[in-house]
Structure 1
Amino acid sequence: MDQGLPDTFTVNTAVAMAIRAPSVHNSQPWRWAVGYRTLHLYADPSRQLTQTDPDRRDLLISCGAALHHARIGFAALGWEADVHHLPHPGEPDHLAAIEFHRREPTAGEIALAAAIPRRRTDRRRHSSWDVPRGYLEPIAEAVADEGVVLRMAEGTERYYLATAIEEACRRHNADPAYRLELAAWSGRRAAPDGVPSRNTPAPDDTPGTLPARPFADPGLTEAPGAAGEDDETVLLVLSTASDDLMSRLRAGEATSAALLTATAFGLASCPLTEPLELPDVRRTVEKEVCAGSFPQMVLRVGWAPANADPLPATGRRDLADVLTPLDTAPLPGGAGRRH
């Protein structure tokens, strides 16, 4: 970058933090390009999961989460990221152009940056400890700061949401093409992407437990005694007023904000998109849970059992694979080059 703007070390450090963001099946569907005075985020359509995510909603949310991780990373390093979302309508894979200004980090930004390497997608059972409302309110505020609404599904809303999760799981399990794609992206041992075997537990058949995707070769054991506890999972739904590309990208940023805030509190969390991947099931969630707004993400949040071991980090692609100079590298989808 130009002199006076973030140097190479700063850019590399912040983008390395960005690519720790969660993504559907850990597909990491993003590319970053460094211009003369700006940093650019592109979707990588070659990593779209066509059976799971035919309309690219999960892909955009994943990229939005990486964008928010990048903003937090740069903020903690003393740079404010001025984001221009979807800067070129003719290039749908060009998701953001970022300019930078010097600014001292806040204590909150430092705390969120510190949460980035500690955040994990934890698919295990939660403990019987209640999540304090005093923790949920800051999560909702962080989501609202991204222009997204967070709703806690309780009572009837939780019933409809749980039913939607069960219906989506049942229909996906009956879809051979979906199951083949899921198997191809899971059960990994040492790959830099996909869902590792060591991070996925076997399906939990405890009565009342929400079903989960049947990832291949699950190798994660539940904490001793966890099955005997009531699972006090909190279900949070993130929704937007519209359902355009911008809304989905901002929902991804809000997802990152929620997950990092939860991690800073010590909570375990897990994004759920399966009930929103089937159009009619998603419409049910829209009507019965979100009061007509568009659901974009469901989050499981709770306390890990007291004796649960920390989860290992999932693989990430090398920085050189996702960060390239804008004026030399071919970009996904044949996107043009800009400085």
Structure 2
Amino acid sequence: MSALPDHDTIRAAVALAVRAPSVHNTQPWLWRVGDTTVHLYADDSRRLPYTDPDSRELVVSCGAALHHLRVALRAVGWDTVVHRFPNPDEPRHLAALELHHAEPDVSATRLARAIARRRSDRRRFTSWEVPPAQVSAVVAAGAAVPGVQVREIDTTGEHARLMRAFVDAATAHRGDAGYNAELAQWSGHHASAQGVPARNAVVPPDATVRPFGDPRLPEAVVSDTEEAARMLLVCTASDDLWGWLRAGEVASAVLLEATARGLATCALSEPLEVTGVRTRIRRDLLGDFGYPQLIIRMGWAATSAAPVPTTPRLPLEDIVRPAESLSLSGEQ
């Protein structure tokens, strides 16, 4: 086992890792840096009790950050061996990473550059078709993880059922006072390092976009009457901590590959937060085989559209701490 990279390298890699998307931009992760390992913990203080009562989306968000970190480190010549849930007595300890010297990887460098460019674009996309070869390449980016599948919603009937799920979830949430208070708490602010700021929120163009507070991002000027967004469904064989973490890792791989190809993306989860709606998606779109964990919308942004502003992140000093020596007895 080799020593860790220097402090500045670790800091730069974690700074890219925390660019990962998270539900309501809660950033529910904590990092502990040891002499030879980096550890990822879930920060339960950032759980959304109304939106995410079982912490599923919290763990999915952390999985995306874990994959981002691995990409960032591989790009600068550090390979990682990941031990997921290494401490059975501490379920918040999501992963321990051993680092080993490796040659810098060109494909990882490409994805690391995409980390800095990726944004959650909630605006309307254009009617420009995403070629099937592009869709296949994006789907393939998430195909290497056992127990996780990326499904394209590729028929008219499937798409209509998914859109109905968005409408039904939004209707259920409109009548949920706790959910709406939580949404207001985590959106619409102007100077906060967390939550969805006003400058990144849009007036919902359709039911796929939540009504975040005080939307200030101008909608793209799109003259087309129909957009050609593609919908991808990340699903897992198990609906547990393992499945949730791996779903986040796969979602990160898909989002970065799409971004590297110039596509606009947005991770969506509202239909999966209402139990009855999520059950219906599982039945109607997955045939009761597997569990839906995240929806990814992707397409071409209008060339005239202004760039989506960078969403703020918490200072690294708030989320990175030295670690005591910890066991790496977990399964890889």
Please state which band the TM-score falls in when normalised by the shorter chain: over 0.9
Report how far residue 168 of structure 1 moved: 0.5
Q: In the aligned structure 2, how far is the partner of 1:227 from the partner of 1:55?
A: 41
Letter of the 1:149 counterpart: Q
Q: Percent identity?
A: 47
Query: Which residue among 287, 305, 324 is the counterpart of 2:321?
Result: 324
> Are the equivalent residues in 2 in contact too, given 1:125–1:227 (CA < 8 A)?
no
Q: In the aligned structure 2, how far is the partner of 1:93 from the partner of 1:27?
A: 16
Letter of the 1:258 counterpart: V
Q: Which residue of 2 aligns with 1:333?
A: none
> Are the structure 2 counterparts of residues 239 and 113 from structure 1 closer, same or farther at C-alpha, using a change threshold of 3 Å?
same
> Are the equivalent residues in 2 in contact too, given 1:124–1:201 (CA < 8 A)?
yes
Asked if 1:295 is matched to 2:295, the reply is: no
Q: In the aligned structure 1, how far is the partner of 2:315 from the partner of 2:281?
A: 37
Scaled by the length of structure 1, the TM-score of the pair is: 0.93
Q: In the aligned structure 2, how far is the partner of 1:211 from the partner of 1:302?
A: 14
Scaled by the length of structure 2, the TM-score of the pair is: 0.95
Q: Which residue of 2 aligns with 1:198?
A: 199
Instruction: Extract structure 1 runs of 4+ deviating beyond 6 A.
Output: none
Report how far residue 10 of structure 1 moved: 1.2
Letter of the 1:317 counterpart: L
Asked if 1:20 is matched to 2:19, the reply is: yes
> Are the equivalent residues in 1 in contact too, given 2:231–2:295 (CA < 8 A)?
yes
Q: In the aligned structure 2, how far is the partner of 1:227 from the partner of 1:150?
A: 31
Letter of the 1:174 counterpart: G
> Are the structure 2 counterparts of residues 228 and 133 from structure 1 closer, same or farther at C-alpha, using a change threshold of 3 Å?
closer
> Are the equivalent residues in 2 in contact too, given 1:169–1:212 (CA < 8 A)?
no
Q: In the aligned structure 2, how far is the partner of 1:212 from the partner of 1:170?
A: 13
Q: Which residue of 1 aligns with 2:330?
A: none
Asked if 1:152 is matched to 2:152, the reply is: yes
Report how far residue 7 of structure 1 moved: 1.4
Letter of the 1:268 counterpart: A
Report how far residue 145 of structure 1 moved: 1.6
1:84-233 to 2 correspondences below 5 Å: 84-147=83-146, 148-153=148-153, 154-204=155-205, 209-224=206-221, 226=222, 228-233=224-229
Query: Which residue among 276, 283, 297 is the counterpart of 2:279?
Result: 283
Q: Which residue of 2 aligns with 1:332?
A: none
Q: Which residue of 2 aligns with 1:330?
A: none
Q: In the aligned structure 1, how far is the partner of 2:211 from the partner of 2:299?
A: 21
Report how far residue 5 of structure 1 moved: 2.6
Q: Which residue of 1 aligns with 2:308?
A: 311
Letter of the 1:155 counterpart: T
Report how far residue 338 of structure 1 moved: 2.3
Report how far residue 227 of structure 1 moved: 5.3
Q: In the aligned structure 2, how far is the partner of 1:312 from the partner of 1:161?
A: 28
Report how far residue 228 of structure 1 moved: 4.1
RMSD value, Cα: 1.3
Asked if 1:269 is matched to 2:268, the reply is: no
Q: Which runs of 5+ in 2 are unaligned?
A: 328-332
Which digits, 9 at most, give the CA deviation of each residue in 1:146-182, with x for residues without a partner?
A: 3321111122211211111111011001111100000
Letter of the 2:261 counterpart: F
SS at match of 1:101: strand
Which digits, 9 at most, give the CA deviation of each residue in 1:277-302, with x for residues without a partner?
A: 11111111111112321111101100
How many residue pairs get aligned? The number is 324
Which digits, 9 at most, give the CA deviation of each residue in 1:13-33, with x for residues without a partner?
A: 111110110000000000000
Report how far residue 3 of structure 1 moved: 7.1
Asked if 1:236 is matched to 2:232, the reply is: yes
SS at match of 2:280: helix
Query: Which residue among 246, 251, 258 is the counterpart of 1:250?
Result: 246
Which digits, 9 at most, give the CA deviation of each residue in 1:305-331, with x for residues without a partner?
A: 12111111000001111111013xxxx
SS at match of 2:72: helix
Q: In the aligned structure 1, how far is the partner of 2:292 from the partner of 2:228?
A: 22
SS at match of 2:150: strand
Letter of the 2:214 counterpart: D
